[in-house]
Chains A and B, each alone.
Chain A
Amino acid sequence: MEKEKVDIGSLIDQETERRLQIMEESSYEWPQKAGKGDVIAIVAAVAVCLLLIIGCMTGVIA
Chain B
Amino acid sequence: MSNLNHADYITQETVTGVVPMLNRDRQYNFWDLFLSTSGFAIATWCYTQGAVIAEMLSFRQMLINIFCFNILWILIECIPVFFGVRYGIDLWVWLRSVLGIKGVAIFATVISLANFGWYVVNAELFGSSMINLFGYFGVELSGAFWKPAFGVACVIIGTLIALGGPTVIKWTSRILVSALLVVGVIVVILCVTAVPLTDIIAVKPNAEGGKLTNFMVSAEANVAFAFSWSTQAIVMPRLCRTERKGYWGTTLAYGIVAPFFVAAGGIMALAMFVKTGVYESDPTVMLATLGGPVFALLSLLMVAFANIGTQGFGSYVNCMIVKSGLPKISYRVLVLIAMVYVSLLTMTGWVTANFQAFISLAAFIQGPIIGMTVVDYLIVKKRKLSLKSVYYMKGHDAYKFTNGFNLVGLGCLVISFVVSILFVYNPLTGAIKSGVFLILTGSGTTAVLGGLLYWIASLTPLRKYMLRDRDDLEII
A interface with B by C-beta (< 8 Å):
4-5, 7-9, 11-12, 15-17, 19-20, 22-24, 28-35, 38, 42, 45-46, 49-50, 52-53, 55-57, 59, 61-62
Chain B residues with CB under 8 A of A33:
82, 86, 243
- B86 close to A31 (CB less than 8 A): yes
B60 within 8 Å of A (CB atoms):
yes
What CA separation (Å) do A25 and B349 show in the bound complex? 53
- B61 close to A61 (CB less than 8 A): yes
- A20 close to B1 (CB less than 8 A): no
Q: Which parts of B55-89 form the interface with A (CB within 8 Å)?
A: 58, 60-61, 64-65, 67-69, 71-72, 75-76, 79, 82, 85-87
Question: What residue in chain B is nearest A14 (Cβ atoms)?
Answer: B10
- A45 close to B242 (CB less than 8 A): no
Question: What residue in chain A is nearest B9 (Cβ atoms)?
Answer: A11
Chain A residues with CB under 8 A of B475:
20, 23-24
B190 within 8 Å of A (CB atoms):
no
Chain B residues with CB under 8 A of A56:
61, 64-65, 215
- A35 close to B72 (CB less than 8 A): no
- B10 close to A62 (CB less than 8 A): no
Nearest CB on A from B195, distance (A) = 22
- A24 close to B474 (CB less than 8 A): yes
Which one of B211, B243, B391 contacts A16 once the chains associate, using CB atoms below 8 Å? B391
Nearest CB on A from B424, distance (A) = 17
Question: What residue in chain A is nearest B219 (Cβ atoms)?
Answer: A53
Question: What residue in chain A is nearest B238 (Cβ atoms)?
Answer: A31
What would be 7 A-B contacts, judged by CB atoms less than 8 Å apart?
A7-B1, A11-B13, A12-B327, A32-B244, A53-B219, A57-B216, A61-B61
Contact with A along B7-20 (1 / 0, CB 8 A): 00110011001111
B247 within 8 Å of A (CB atoms):
yes
Chain A residues with CB under 8 A of B69:
49, 53
What CA separation (Å) do A17 and B391 show in the bound complex? 9
- B86 close to A15 (CB less than 8 A): no
Q: A8-B328, A9-B328, A52-B64 are in contact. Are A17 and B393 (CB under 8 A)?
A: yes
Which one of A16, A19, A50, A62 contacts B72 once the chains associate, using CB atoms below 8 Å? A50
Chain A residues with CB under 8 A of B76:
46
* Number of B interface residues in the complex (CB < 8 A): 54
Q: A31-B85, A32-B242 are in contact. Are A62 and B391 (CB under 8 A)?
A: no
B102 within 8 Å of A (CB atoms):
no
B128 within 8 Å of A (CB atoms):
no
Question: What residue in chain A is nearest B242 (Cβ atoms)?
Answer: A32
Chain A residues with CB under 8 A of B17:
12
Which one of A16, A31, A50, A53 contacts B19 once the chains associate, using CB atoms below 8 Å? A16
- A19 close to B20 (CB less than 8 A): yes
What CA separation (Å) do A22 and B14 show in the bound complex? 15
Question: What residue in chain B is nearest A29 (Cβ atoms)?
Answer: B23
Q: Which parts of B1-35 form the interface with A (CB within 8 Å)?
A: 1, 6, 9-10, 13-14, 17-20, 22-24, 26
Which one of B6, B67, B243, B391 contacts A34 once the chains associate, using CB atoms below 8 Å? B243
- B215 close to A57 (CB less than 8 A): yes
Question: What residue in chain A is nearest B60 (Cβ atoms)?
Answer: A61
Chain A residues with CB under 8 A of B275:
none
B330 within 8 Å of A (CB atoms):
yes
B388 within 8 Å of A (CB atoms):
yes
Chain A residues with CB under 8 A of B65:
53, 56
- B247 close to A22 (CB less than 8 A): no
Which one of A20, A34, A50, A53 contacts B387 once the chains associate, using CB atoms below 8 Å? A20
B241 within 8 Å of A (CB atoms):
yes
- A20 close to B388 (CB less than 8 A): yes
B456 within 8 Å of A (CB atoms):
no
Nearest CB on B from A8, distance (A) = 6
B212 within 8 Å of A (CB atoms):
yes
- B242 close to A53 (CB less than 8 A): no
Chain B residues with CB under 8 A of A23:
20, 22, 87, 387, 475
- A12 close to B242 (CB less than 8 A): no
Chain B residues with CB under 8 A of A38:
243-244, 247-248
Which one of A12, A16, A29, A42 contacts B328 once the chains associate, using CB atoms below 8 Å? A12
Nearest CB on A from B126, distance (A) = 32
Question: What residue in chain B is nearest A21 (Cβ atoms)?
Answer: B475
Question: What residue in chain B is nearest A24 (Cβ atoms)?
Answer: B475
What CA separation (Å) do A4 and B9 show in the bound complex? 12
